[in-house]
Structure 1
Amino acid sequence: MLLLLFTLVLFTSSFTPTAMGKIGKPGCRTQCGNLTIQYPFGIDKGCSMDESFDLTCNLTTTPPKLFIGSGNIEIYNISGPEMKISNSIGFRCYNESGYATYELIAWTNLETTPFSFSQKNKFTVIGCDDSALITGRNGIDFTSGCLGLCSKASDVPIGYCSGNGCCQTSIPKGLKFYNVSLGSFNNHEKVHSFNPCGFAFLGEEESFTFGGVPDLSDMDLDVKIDNSLRIVVDWVIGGKRNCTQAMECKGNSFCEDEETGGYRCICNDGYEGNPYLDPGCEDINECEDKSNIRCYGICTNTPGSYNCTCLKGYTGDGKIKDDCRPDAKDSKFPVVLFSVALVFGLLAILSGITGIFLGVRKRKLIRLREKFFEQNGGVFMKQKLKATGASEAVTMFTTEQLRKATDNYSEERIVGRGGYGVVYKGFLPDKRVVAIKKSKLVDGSQSEQFINEVLILTQIIHRNVVKLLGCCLEEEVPVLVYEFISNNTLFYHIHHKPGGMSWLSWENRLRVAAEAAGALAYLHSQATMPIIHRDVKSANILLDENYTTKISDFGASRLVPLDHDQVTTLVQGTLGYLDPEYFHTSQLTDKSDVYSFGMVLAELVTGKKPLCASRNNEEKNLATYFIKSMKENRFFQVVDPRVLREGSLEQLQAIAGLIKRCLDLLGENRPTMREVAMELEGLRKFTTHPWVQQQTSEESRSLMLEVEQSDLYAVPLMSYSTNEWESYSGITEMEFQENEPR
């Protein structure tokens, strides 16, 4: 660690105005106002390493201003491998009637430069009714977002971003371009009195402090941010080249590769200067400035280092204070024997201190684990297990077991990150492969509810629900242990493979949908206590080695008492899948899961993501685009070509009607998950008849021909009631119950 810090300090010092050696090429200006420009950068023609390192000094202003290339991105500070540049702020303001009066889009492009945005920056959204997406590229496309919500001024904190009025999120390393788009849910009509505008921007995290309500009320906040907050950028040499191809590093320096591509030259220890210009880095005479070294004798400079010896007539180590002593040539004192005894004595003392320290540390660790166990509801769980005689229902894992299973929670064992924790792949001593989830902090006052929910989830036995095997309560946060599902998520199979996976046929899509719907119906109506998942999405639908569906991630789930049909909760879920009615009322019902499942069905049928900033405005939100396409009889334009090729006209009409009802804005108009599951099972049963398969093939060919010839569709989409569907599909609720997996 000390060596790393020393290297970083040395690297920074090699690019400061006080560094030894050359700053720029001969005859080249190295000053623009109060900023010093050092090679490989240059402000005159031929003074930089290549055109990508060209800078422009505008002398018409007082003081002069420095810009990247010939563009309008201003440089405010240069410090070693970093620069601070001007900001770009996106904002949208509304009047009291909800109409947008001012709007500005934020973006910055560094793709033709050696710069990339530093991870010291955070993407920030300020507003009580605002959502924002940041899209960009760092070798691959990147999309993230943030949501600022609050209903009254008294809920807004000052000094930090908590999500109430201010939200922040990180960016990936190596990002060279970004674009920001702002949105609003109610156009600030409900919060206009203290928050008329929403703002989104990228900037240095350490330099930004949220001012609370005064910031929300300030319509000129963009000017304040633009004057005070900068974007930090990093720079490298070589673009896609690495150190093996580098020729720029001069004498007394070495090359260091950057993980995102390119490299930098760094002066060796004991040298400083500009490693990109001949003769390279020059030796530091440490003896001239003893404030940075330790020498209590005679200092002698050496290349890259120094020697320190005691004065004549003294022996010892001149780098250690008071270690130089008069020569003892005539002394009869047994120096060797004394030294050996001293060493062994010190070793004995050190061993004793180490033993005491380890013992104290072990006792503290045991007490800490006992504290976490009690804090996380372990005592309550033991009482419940003893009272119900169900001690075998939940496996209580120890900290040592799970740390060993995950190689001490190694980064290499991470298989997923979500809003409710991090999931690791683990190997138990009995050879079982498990998924180990470290949850977020649990409120101590809710530990009893958490334990009750764990006990109920361990009793869920359904072939399409990921089995909860047990938990560990000895960590600061509860750790849950699930069976491991090996074949990735449905989201991955739909979106991450060009053209889809070979197994993802229409028949298999129907099977996966029917299995997932049956599992959710089981949770809603047949579990010991009804369970609302609250975060149904294709990323939480797993597939095992046989492509069997498994519903997972109950981190946001809520148990519903048998005498209640709805629960008031803090809104949680995933944008794109979140039930609009639940978002606006905070009233959670089983119909909220139905809406989210409708979005999963829309994904399966269309092959499109629920939200995608790269699509045009009409298609960004899949739900609204899907419903609009149905109303305009353009449904078959949004269907995945393979689904259109393999599914029959009646099947596509039926599932389109089912999706439309699931996505109804009023929960009471949506079907139940049991009704959804029955309809999907009916569609599956319908595909098994031989005459249907023959008819399907003929209709698909006809439908594909029609799609190729015309963009207009006059075929009305059908919508079935439960009774009509039973008549059409030949499956009844009784048959559904008989065929449902237990």
Structure 2
Amino acid sequence: METTRQLFIFTAAALLIYAGCASSAKQCSDCGNTTVPYPLSTSPTCGDQSYKVRCDAAAGGGTLVFDSLNNTYPITSINPSAQRFVIKPATLVSNATCVTSDLVHQGLQLNSSLPFNVTSSNTILYLNCTADLLRSPLNCSSSSLCHVYANYTRGVCANAPLCCTFRAGGSSTSYMIRVRESGCSAYTSFVNLDSSLGVDRWGQPGLEIQWVSPREPVCGSQVDCDDGGNSTCRLDPTESGVRRCFCNSPLVWDPIQGVCVKYCQDAQGCGKADKTALIAGLTSGLGATLFLAIIAILLYKRHRRIIEAQERLAKEREDILNASGGGRAAKLFTGKEIKKATHDFSKDLLLGAGGYGDVYKGFLQDGTVVAVKCAKLGNTKGTDQVLNEGLKHGGRGQLTWSHRLRIAHDAAEGWLILI
């Protein structure tokens, strides 16, 4: 099962081929150690100009920052496929009051005409609030998460009379996290907060921002589009006077990668892979795996039939020997046991030799004396001659006539005979 699963994964990986073509949009260079994905733009020559962020080269060799309407926030992480990034919320000012540094700007405020908004993944903790907030739909009870946080951190906000908790992302909070003197003077935020965990496991504060999928790049002429013939600069039918680099059919625009691609995988993204090719590849891989499994099962069954036939033959031979053994149980011996009993077919123990085989005297481990017929390959006749030769070498006086008949019968079969 594990081998099949690994083969399936290998086949899927080998057949997953990206069908992207030359890009008609330029991705910006890294900002320090941070990759700047399309459509984010740090300069007029890269990305989409509606998705501006800034690379602050003076901050530790290069820090990517996001400028709101009235303040600047460092970007701590980016998820291009989800089209989201996380900024660091404003910190508390260094004094004895519970106030965040962006209070003078009334908190975080985004431009609603730009393609950025606050996501609903944020849990906002409002701190140092006035009694006016008690009439709001926020959770300002003594058991709310903001009180748990304030009591755990034991900072200046622990003595604040009132705090409130809410999930951002509603219509009134999609573009701002507001702080003010007549409401709450401080706040912090956590992304995808699991309230069942202790505060020490909440991680670092963060505020998640998402961007909407970008449209095709704006162009002034065909020169602004790619030179691979994948797109054409023409008027946008939805915006008067705006020209864009529209992909040439059958190519389609992939807003995540910023490229024209051959295939659209689904409504949420294009250019990942050709579903038809992927399904065909997976089907072929599974078919080959199934074929190999069937072959392995057939070989195993054939091997089992051979083993069972050998065991059945051995049992039948034991039954035959037991039927004429005079009440003494027959036993099948291995080649190793027979060689040991005859001292590796020692010439000193040779009872007789003839054209059809040799007969040796042997001694079992318990002291029982036996006669061992070593028949020549392919020879099943002449047992009488072999028996007579064996009896010339000291066996005649010790064997009864019935024993001689048993020796003749079993010697022809190549079995060890008890004397």
TM-score tier after normalising by the smaller chain length: 0.3 to 0.5
More helix by share: 1
Bigger relative contact order, structure 1 or 2 (CA pairs below 8 A, ≥6 apart): 2
Which has more radius of gyration?
Answer: 2
The TM-score with structure 1 as length reference comes to 0.24
